[in-house]
Amino acid sequence: MKSSSTRVGRYPTLDLLLHNSTSVQTPALRSVGNIVTGDDLQTQVVIAAGALPALLQLLSSPKDGIRKEACWTISNITAGSPPQIQAVIDANIIPPLINILQNADFKTKKEACWAISNATSGALQEPSQIRYLVSQGCIKPLCDLLTMMDNKIIQVALDGLDNILKIGEADKTAAGPGAVNQYAQYVEEAGGMITIHNLQQHENLDIYKKAFNIMDKYFPDEEDLDAAIAAPTVDASGAFQFSDASVPQGGFSFGN
């Protein structure tokens, strides 16, 4: 007699994703996640079997570990083809994913960052997908992650922002003379421009290069930026206040 776990036919593991015990959910989720680390065909089989609605539900799990594993699994799906990224979008996974990117613990945020950044990479072939990601508010949390003490996640966030800015630049060109890169404006409004400017002083060579290239391509008026960073403002008491962005990472180092 067959186990009751086979009642859905060919994909019993997907049934276990929504089991009421996390000790069952976790290995089931890890199994699905391992499958989608394979090629696009393997990922497509998982999507076709109906995994995305279950993953959407798991993003609301009360368990941090389950949410983290779900984000990791989704990141492997968004590393796939544009149609697979579109399937994630159509399953309404992006809004809760961005909510996690803003509000979760750091380990879960990291996996959500990979998921969003991977989506921006594949979506370069489908600009409407990047426009959708921006419309859901992905720029601000990506900018916020640039201040983390984790070099890899800074690079992943920079990659995502660079991909977004590429589409903003293409839209600017298509709009004709006088147009602006709207996504560059969003990055500036989110405080990302100053952070990226400061990352040009980062000790990690890859981060320095990525930050330099972004500033060079999308924020060329660095003299104006330097002045904006250096200029003090006056608070309600009349005292001068300088931007924290003018302080180098790790603080100032003075000679003994």
Q: Can you spell out the DSSP letters for the chain?
A: ---GGGTTSS-HHHHHTT-S-HHHHHHHHHHHHHHTTS-HHHHHHHHHTTHHHHHHHHTT-S-HHHHHHHHHHHHHHHTS-HHHHHHHHHTT-HHHHHHHHHHS-HHHHHHHHHHHHHHHHHGGG-HHHHHHHHHTT-HHHHHHHTTSS-HHHHHHHHHHHHHHHHHHHHHHHHH-TT---HHHHHHHHTTHHHHHHHHTT-SSHHHHHHHHHHHHHH---HHHHHHHHH--EE-TTS-EE--GGGSPTT------
pLDDT in tens, 28-45: 888 887 888 889 999 999
pLDDT at 247: 44
Could you give the CA distance from residue 117 to residue 232 in angstroms, rounded to a whole number? Answer: 35
Q: In this structure, what token pair is assigned to residue 196?
A: 């990226």
Whether the CB-CB separation of 100 and 109 falls below 8 Å is answered with yes
Q: In this structure, what token pair is assigned to residue 101?
A: 């990117």
pLDDT band at 214 (very low <50, low <70, confident <90, very high): very high
pLDDT band at 148 (very low <50, low <70, confident <90, very high): very high
Task: Check pLDDT > 80 for residue 218.
Answer: yes
Whether the CB-CB separation of 156 and 114 falls below 8 Å is answered with yes
pLDDT at 26: 76
pLDDT at 119: 96
Task: Check pLDDT > 80 for residue 232.
Answer: no
In terms of phi and psi (left: phi > 0; alpha: psi -120 to 50; beta: otherwise), the region of 137 is left
Percent of the chain at pLDDT exceeding 70: 79
Residues 6+ apart with CB under 8 A from 159: 117, 120, 121, 210
CA distances to 35, 122, 193, 233 from 161, in Å: 28, 13, 11, 29
Q: In this structure, what token pair is assigned to residue 88?
A: 């994630």
Percent of the chain at pLDDT exceeding 90: 66
Whether the CB-CB separation of 111 and 161 falls below 8 Å is answered with no
Averaged pLDDT score across all residues of the chain:
84
